[in-house]
Amino acid sequence: MSFSSFHCRFPSDLCKDFRDLFTQFFGMDSSTLLRVIHLILMLFSIAALCLTSAIFDFIIINRMYYTLPEKRVLVDEGMSLIFFISSSLLLFVSLCSLFFSQTSQNIQNMARKYECVLGFLHGFSLLSCTVVGALCTIKAIETAVEIFPFAYNAVPYQFEKASHWYYTRLVAVAIIFALSSLICLCEFLFLHCGIRFRQNTFTKLIPSTTKSSANSNPNSAQQRGLLYFS
């Protein structure tokens, strides 16, 4: 696999590689797979929003969850801001991607007209989701590790139950942020960094007539396609 420089437009031969790969091995084309990925990201973002709301309740916001006698606060209420921003950004990107994949032909044609700008915004959004999601994962894991000793065999029993409540939800939200960040990173690499599969690995399914027409007019909007949001 070889790496190429950043492209504003989606390379047509890379599009064919994706179509060949997922048609042969998964029974779906690249557009269908991207819709499934964006749907999964949307579900992850909703789950992250729900877990964030459950973690940062009035007890955490009012700094009422602490140890005795040193009164050390175990969960920083300031993390709620970055957690909500990361979940909301992921939800916004996935909804926009699903919207463009299901919208009318006129809007898709307009999107092709400004595909360089939309491609840049899409890549920047994916990178932002990746970085912010990774940061939220690290913060959630660090907090979960700090709470873990109090989640089992703590005194009093009510404090143990509260610690176990926050610990399990912090672990769950860390897993969700980690998976969503990894998916966004993979999507960015494959769609925007020009990762190409080896030519001898997959059988080409594109007819020769299509290849000749694509070579004769490589800048045609019909040949390029807008796969960022499909």
Tens of pLDDT, residue by residue over 181-222, are 999 998 888 877 754 433 332 333 233 444 444 444 544 444
Query: Distances from the Cα of 61 to the Cαs of 56, 58, 66, 149, in angstroms?
Result: 6, 5, 12, 22
* Residue 80 pLDDT grade (very low, low, confident, very high; cuts 50, 70, 90): very high
Rounded Cα gap, residues 112 and 115, in angstroms: 5
Q: What is the pLDDT of residue 141?
A: 96
Q: What percent of the chain has pLDDT over 70?
A: 67
Q: What is the pLDDT of residue 70?
A: 83
Give the residue-averaged pLDDT of 147-169.
Answer: 90
Mean residue pLDDT across the chain: 75
Q: What is the pLDDT of residue 220?
A: 45
* Residue 225 pLDDT grade (very low, low, confident, very high; cuts 50, 70, 90): very low
Which of the pair, 153 or 221, is modelled with greater confidence?
153
- The answer to whether 73 and 115 have CB atoms below 8 angstroms apart is no
Q: What is the pTM of this model?
A: 0.71
In this predicted structure, the answer to whether residue 59 has a pLDDT above a threshold of 70 is: yes
Give the residue-averaged pLDDT of 61-84.
Answer: 89
Q: What is the pLDDT of residue 45?
A: 96
Q: Convert the pLDDT of each residue in 109-141 to its tens digit.
A: 776 777 777 778 888 999 999 999 999 999 999
Q: How far is CA 20 from the centre of its chain?
A: 24
In this predicted structure, the answer to whether residue 27 has a pLDDT above a threshold of 70 is: no
